[in-house]
Each structure stands twice: as structure tokens, then as C-alpha cells.
Structure 1
Amino acid sequence: MLKKRICEMKRDMRKFDCELKHKNLKGVTLMSVLTVTVENKVGKIILNNPPLNILEMAHLQEIEDAVKRLDEDDNVSVIYFTMAQQKNGKIFSAGMDLDEMLATQKEENGIEEYCRVSKRNYSCFYFAKKPVVYVYDGIVRGGGCEMSLFADVRIAGEKLNLALPEIGIGIIPGGGGTQTLQRLIGQSRAKALIYTGATLNAEQAKEFGLVHEVFPSETLQEKAIEFAEKMAQNSPQGLQAAKRAINQGSSLEISEALPFETKVFVENFATEDAKEGIRAFKEKRRPVFKNK
């Protein structure tokens, strides 16, 4: 059944018009599964890989490349990631390509390299300078879930059904899930979910603090874009400074984190955007930020 689905997925990929070469694929050319657009300071990435949005390594590399481009684009303040809903909106992503994972065993240290590269791909959301908003709904499994855990903000549709089910086939999450999930919802809850492979619905995910907001499925993308665009109205320099202070400070002892925050604050306070923001506040007008 799985092989049939994989064959269907690869056949459907041929329908896409855009081709993208990946150096790590030894010159093989694959069809792009991404659409990337920029509007109102939001760089939007949409993955569409019917019928199940199964993630191959080439797709992850494509996502990382797109994130890096948007991270360097002065017209972008916020990065927005989502996938096209499949099966009449029921499925967001079935996770990683299991056949591709198994094939890595044919090479020495293949599975180790597979884990290393997938972690690098997923974590591009975390290490991007700019905030990343991850928007999902419907069934999300394995890698589709792990990828979301590296984003800055997660926004869900009311039909969200989230799980890391790897334990059911005798393995563990290998894309960073054991480390990121506990940092977001606490070790006890993370252990319970990973040890059982249990699912979370949208309201449970919000209660756990895993998602910021839940919207009706019909208006999810509209509301999530509004959220991202509102965020993008702020100073790009300020957004990047805030992300840096939070992400890097979280790994420090509080005695080190507080001086680190001061360092980031002082650097940000000296920017032109900070000066403009304060000036605009005193003059009772909207600031005009220039990312300087």
C-alpha cells in the first residue's frame, strides 16, 4: 500500500512545471513542489506534493534553500510556511518518505547522514534570522510535525490532528522531535506523546502551548496571513533582535541570559529603525521602518 502511494506521488510530481537542480542529488533534476511568493513583507512558501504531501529529502533541501533566500531578501520581514491540503482538506502531511529512509541503509553511515541532513533542513526555520510562521490543519504526522516544531509561531486549523507516531513501528522521531517538543510543551507531556504516539487535536495543542491560535479551517489561511502581515509591520531589525534574544538566550543560564539580552538590546537600540520608531511614537504617527 505504501509503495503504491509513493508511486502515485512521484507520478503526480511530473505535473509541475518548475524544475530545480539540487547539487546533493548528483545532478538529478526534480520537479519543484514549492510555490514561493512575497507580498506585504511576508515571504510565503507553499509545498504541494499530492496525494499525501510526503516529504522526500529533495523537498526538504528545496525548503531550506527557499528559506535562506527569503531570509536575505530585504522585501521580507516574516517567513510563512504551509502545505496545500490533500484529500479534500483531510491531510496536511503524512511525514517522511519511509522507502527513502530505508534505502539509506545500503550505504555506510547512510541512516546517520539521513538524520543529520534532515535535522539541518528542518532547523532552517529556527536558525533563520527572521520569524517563521508555520500554518497547518488536518492530519499531520512524523516529519510534517517535526518540521513545525522549529518554527517561531504555529497557527492551526480546527481540524488539526497532530502526532509523532514513530514508536508504533519501533523507532523514534529522528528529525529533532525528541528535543524540540519537550522545549515547547515540557518534558512530561513530550514523553507521554512520544512514548504512545498519541494524537493531539487543535484545542489540545493550544492548551499545551504548542500552537498560538486556532481558526476555522475555512478561514485559516486568511487569518494566518493577517497575523503574519501584522507582525511584518514591525521593524525588521526589531523582529530579528527579538528572535535572537529569545532563541540564543534560552540555552543560557539566567545569569548569562540577562547580560545577553542587554547586549542585543543595546545593539538594536542603535539602529535607524529604533530611532525612527521612538521618533514616530513621540510625534504620534506610524513609523516608516527601513531595515537599518
Structure 2
Amino acid sequence: MSVVLVEQPTPDVAVVRLNRPDARNALNQEVRSALAEHFDRLGQAAEVRCIVLTGGERCFAAGADIRAMADAGAIEIMLRQTQRLWQAIAACPKPVIAAVNGYAWGGGCELAMHADIIIAGEGASFCQPEVKVGIMPGAGGTQRLTRAVGKFQAMKMVLTGLPVSAREALAMGLASEVVADDAVQARALELARHIATLPPLAIAQIKEVLLAGQDASLDTALMLERKAFQLLFASADQKEGMRAFLEKRPPVFRGG
């Protein structure tokens, strides 16, 4: 059976599900390759407007597969080029919602941080424990984490290797929302379906500008925002959205 499953509960929403329950969804090269393949395809699929990324109701992903790394040398690790596989998720133009139950540790925490929204269950926990096995995060655990929660919270997580609870993650900015464990999957799908009803060109521009602006000066980021704002006035969806507002009716966005 595939290590990553893709379901489409509706044509415009896709669910990407890690499927290694016996290994707590540990991330080996097979899983990373499958994720990259699916995100490449879904990112280009015109009908898909939002993606939910999950490990299921028990465990998101407990980290990298240590058995596949323990005896590897530096050159072997370098030649695996895993950053290219992660990039397929980071570069996905569609909004990605991580539905996190249980462990999001190590590579699992880094995987969740590739999403745009994180819905966590009350029993979820987030951790970067790499220092405990003699290494450090290698897929964004020092960089994305710092951008999400700030220097001091990130330093505490990566230097101690200690987990934080879902509520702590929410307070520090590492989660968007915390719900009951048995409501995580449904809430993520609810948000995905809502986003799927919105104009996809505007959604794509919002995601692109927000992410690009994080690493730009304020003046440059504001320029990117302004240009994207102006560009959307060339879309049919902008005309439909504003006419629907004035006519007091629901809009129908077609992505043009």
C-alpha cells in the first residue's frame, strides 16, 4: 500500500494523508518522494483549490526515519537532495492546511510548517528533538520556526529538544487553531471547503505575496502587495465578487 494516500472528498479539495501507521508516519525517502509527486500534481490541477495535509487521527508524523539515517555519511546525505523534495510542498501555489493530531516531531514539525494554516488537536505536540540524536533540524526547523515564533521560542525548542503542547504552540504562533482531537480532520476540511468557494486567483496572489514579503523589506513587500491588488482588477472574479456584493447575492467564482 502507498505510503502517501490522496483523497478528494470534493473535486476542489484534496486530502494528502501520510500512511505509515506502524512507523508513526516517519518520513523516509519514499514518503518524501511521494509527497513531492502529489504536491507537484495537485499544485497544477486546475480543479483543486485547497489541500489538506494530515497523518490521520492518531499521529501526524513522528519525525525522520532514524533507521534510514543512522549509518549514512555526510556525502550520502548531501546526495539525497531532500531539499528538492521539500521544495515541491513549499512551492505549492494552492493553500495547504495541516491537520495535526498527535506527534508533529522533527521532520513532522517541519512538514507542518510547510502548510499555510495549522489546525491542531488538544493532544497534539510539536517538537524539534534532533539535538538529542547528535544532529540539528535540516528541513526548516531552525529557519521556518524562527519566522513563525521568533528567536527566543525557537531557540528554546531547538536547543532543548523538548516538545510543546498544542495550546503552547497556539500561544507562540506555531498553530492557527486548536480544537478537540476528534474534530481536527473535520475542521480542516471545513476550512478547506470554505477556501475552495473563494476566488482562486485572489487566493493564489494572497499566498504568494504574503510568503514573498516575509523575506523582503517593508517597502518592497508593500509594492508586491500593491501590484497584486491592482492585477486582480483584471479578473472576472473581481467583477463577479463586487457585482454580487452590490446585488446582495452569493458570488460564483470561476477562477478567471
Report the TM range for the smaller structure's normalisation. over 0.9
8 Å CA contact 1:83, 1:92 repeated in 2: yes
- Partner of 1:194, secondary structure, is helix
Match of 1:36 in 2: 6
- Partner of 2:46, secondary structure, is coil
Distance 1:285 1:238 in 2: 20
Alignment of 1:109 with 2:92, yes or no, is: no
Match of 1:262 in 2: 226
Distance 1:147 1:249 in 2: 21
Alignment of 1:58 with 2:30, yes or no, is: yes
Cα deviation for residue 153 of structure 1 reads 0.7
Match of 1:208 in 2: 172
Distance 1:49 1:250 in 2: 34
What residue identity is the alignment partner of 1:70? L
8 Å CA contact 1:281, 1:287 repeated in 2: yes
Distance 2:166 2:146 in 1: 18
What's the TM-score, normalizing by structure 2?
Answer: 0.94
8 Å CA contact 2:55, 2:101 repeated in 1: no
Cα deviation for residue 95 of structure 1 reads 1.1
5+ residue gaps, structure 1, are 1-15, 17-31
8 Å CA contact 2:62, 2:108 repeated in 1: yes
Residues 144 and 196 of structure 1: is their aligned pair in 2 closer, same or farther, counting only changes over 3 Å? same
Q: How does 1:211-230 map to 2 (within 5 A)?
A: 211-230=175-194
Distance 1:258 1:94 in 2: 38
Q: How does 1:238-253 map to 2 (within 5 A)?
A: 238-253=202-217
Distance 1:53 1:209 in 2: 24
Cα deviation for residue 40 of structure 1 reads 5.3
Report Cα offsets for 1:204-228 as digits up to 9, x if no partner.
Answer: 0110111111111112111221111
Match of 1:47 in 2: 18
Match of 1:84 in 2: 56
What residue identity is the alignment partner of 1:44? V
Match of 2:253 in 1: 289
Say which is worse superposed, 92-101 or 245-254, in terms of deviation: 92-101
8 Å CA contact 2:98, 2:188 repeated in 1: no
Alignment of 1:97 with 2:65, yes or no, is: yes
What residue identity is the alignment partner of 2:48? V
Report Cα offsets for 1:98-118 as digits up to 9, x if no partner.
Answer: 22223442xx7212233xx33
Percentage identity across paired residues of the two chains: 34
TM-align CA RMSD: 1.5
The runs of 4+ residues in structure 1 deviating greater than 3 Å are none
Distance 1:220 1:97 in 2: 25
Alignment of 1:74 with 2:46, yes or no, is: yes
Cα deviation for residue 64 of structure 1 reads 1.1
Residues 213 and 40 of structure 1: is their aligned pair in 2 closer, same or farther, counting only changes over 3 Å? farther
What's the TM-score, normalizing by structure 1?
Answer: 0.83
5+ residue gaps, structure 2, are none
- Partner of 2:47, secondary structure, is coil
Q: How does 1:171-190 map to 2 (within 5 A)?
A: 171-190=135-154
Alignment of 1:279 with 2:250, yes or no, is: no
- Partner of 2:109, secondary structure, is helix
- Partner of 2:108, secondary structure, is helix
Larger Rg: 1
Which of the residues 101, 110, 124 maps onto 1:137? 101
Count of residue pairs the alignment pairs up: 254
